[in-house]
Structure 1
Amino acid sequence: MLTRRNLIQGGAAAGLATCLSAPALANQVWATARPLQPQINPALLAKAKLALDTRPVRNRDMMGVVDFSKASRDPRFYIVDILSGAATEYHVSHGRGSDPAHSGWLEYFSNTPSSEASSSGAYLTDNIYYGKYGRSLRLKGLDTTNSNAEYRNIVVHSAWYAEPEVAEKAGKLGRSEGCFVLSLTNLQYVLLRLGPGRLIYADKVA
Structure 2
Amino acid sequence: MKKEKKLWIFALTIACCSLPSYGMPLDNPYCKRPTIDDSASLLGITPSDSQKLTYFLHGIKTMLHHEAPTMNQAMVDKILTTLKCANQYDVEHTPVLTVIDYSRPSSEKRLWIFDLKGKKLLFHTYVSHGIKSGILSSNYFSNQYNSKASSIGVYKTDKAYYGRHGLSMRLDGLEKGFNDNASNRAVVMHGGWYVDEKFVKKYGRAGRSWGCPAVPSELTKQIINTIKDNSLFVAYYPNENWFLKSKYLHCDNYSHLPQVAQLETNATEPLENRDEILFAEKNNNNKREENEPIVVMAADSYQRIFNTKVPLKRMLRRQINHTEYVALNNKEFKNIVADNPELLNSATKDGSNELCFVIPVIKKVRGYYATEMQIIPLGKIKEVVTSSTQKNQPNYTIHFQTNASIHLKTTNQFIRWLGL
TM bin, normalised by shorter chain, reads 0.7 to 0.9
Letter aligned with residue 69 of structure 1 = S
Give 1:195's match in structure 2, choosing from 202, 210, 228. Answer: 228
Q: What SS does structure 1 have at the residue aligned with 2:214?
A: strand
Q: What SS does structure 1 have at the residue aligned with 2:198?
A: helix
Q: What SS does structure 2 have at the residue aligned with 1:167?
A: helix
Once residues 154 and 232 of structure 2 are traced to their aligned partners in structure 1, the CA distance between those partners, rounded to angstroms, is: 7
Task: Tell me the residue number matched to 1:64.
Answer: 98
Task: Tell me the residue number matched to 1:176.
Answer: 209
Q: Quick check: 50-59 or 155-164, which moved more?
A: 50-59
| Structure 2 residue runs without a partner (length 5+) | 1-23, 32-65, 240-420
Q: Deviations over 1:134-187 (max 9, x none)?
A: 111100100121011011000000011111111101110000000010112222
Letter aligned with residue 75 of structure 1 = K
Contact 1:133 1:158 in 2 (8 A): yes
User: Where do 1:53-132 residues align within 5 Å?
Assistant: 53-55=84-86, 57-87=91-121, 88-99=123-134, 102=135, 104-132=136-164
- Asked if 1:52 is matched to 2:83, the reply is yes
Q: What SS does structure 2 have at the residue aligned with 1:176?
A: coil
Letter aligned with residue 190 of structure 1 = I
Letter aligned with residue 97 of structure 2 = M
Letter aligned with residue 204 of structure 1 = Y
By how many angstroms is 1:46 displaced? 2.6
Once residues 235 and 173 of structure 2 are traced to their aligned partners in structure 1, the CA distance between those partners, rounded to angstroms, is: 11
- Asked if 1:37 is matched to 2:67, the reply is yes
Once residues 164 and 119 of structure 2 are traced to their aligned partners in structure 1, the CA distance between those partners, rounded to angstroms, is: 34
- Aligned-residue CA RMSD in angstroms? 2.2
The alignment's TM-score, normalised by the length of structure 1, stands at: 0.77
Once residues 131 and 25 of structure 1 are traced to their aligned partners in structure 2, the CA distance between those partners, rounded to angstroms, is: 22
Q: Deviations over 1:14-47 (max 9, x none)?
A: xxxxxxxxxx97448xx9xxxx822222322332
Going from structure 1 to structure 2, the CA distance change for 1:122 and 1:190 (only over 3 Å counts) comes to same
- Asked if 1:139 is matched to 2:174, the reply is no
Once residues 188 and 168 of structure 2 are traced to their aligned partners in structure 1, the CA distance between those partners, rounded to angstroms, is: 7
Going from structure 1 to structure 2, the CA distance change for 1:27 and 1:138 (only over 3 Å counts) comes to same
By how many angstroms is 1:126 displaced? 0.5
Once residues 139 and 26 of structure 2 are traced to their aligned partners in structure 1, the CA distance between those partners, rounded to angstroms, is: 33
Q: Quick check: 49-58 or 168-177, which moved more?
A: 49-58
Going from structure 1 to structure 2, the CA distance change for 1:184 and 1:52 (only over 3 Å counts) comes to same
Give 1:149's match in structure 2, choosing from 160, 182, 189. Answer: 182
Contact 1:96 1:177 in 2 (8 A): yes
Letter aligned with residue 114 of structure 2 = V
Once residues 188 and 84 of structure 1 are traced to their aligned partners in structure 2, the CA distance between those partners, rounded to angstroms, is: 22
Q: What SS does structure 2 have at the residue aligned with 1:47?
A: helix
Runs of 4+ aligned residues of structure 1 deviating over 6 Å after TM superposition are none
Q: Which protein is bigger by CA-based radius of gyration?
A: 2
Once residues 174 and 81 of structure 2 are traced to their aligned partners in structure 1, the CA distance between those partners, rounded to angstroms, is: 13
Once residues 76 and 114 of structure 2 are traced to their aligned partners in structure 1, the CA distance between those partners, rounded to angstroms, is: 10
Once residues 82 and 199 of structure 1 are traced to their aligned partners in structure 2, the CA distance between those partners, rounded to angstroms, is: 11
Provide the identity percentage. Answer: 32
| Structure 1 residue runs without a partner (length 5+) | 1-23
Going from structure 1 to structure 2, the CA distance change for 1:174 and 1:25 (only over 3 Å counts) comes to farther
Q: What SS does structure 1 have at the residue aligned with 2:221?
A: helix
- The structure showing larger relative contact order (alpha-carbon pairs under 8 Å, at least 6 residues apart) is 1
The alignment's TM-score, normalised by the length of structure 2, stands at: 0.39
Give the total of aligned pairs: 174
Once residues 57 and 156 of structure 1 are traced to their aligned partners in structure 2, the CA distance between those partners, rounded to angstroms, is: 21
Contact 1:125 1:199 in 2 (8 A): yes
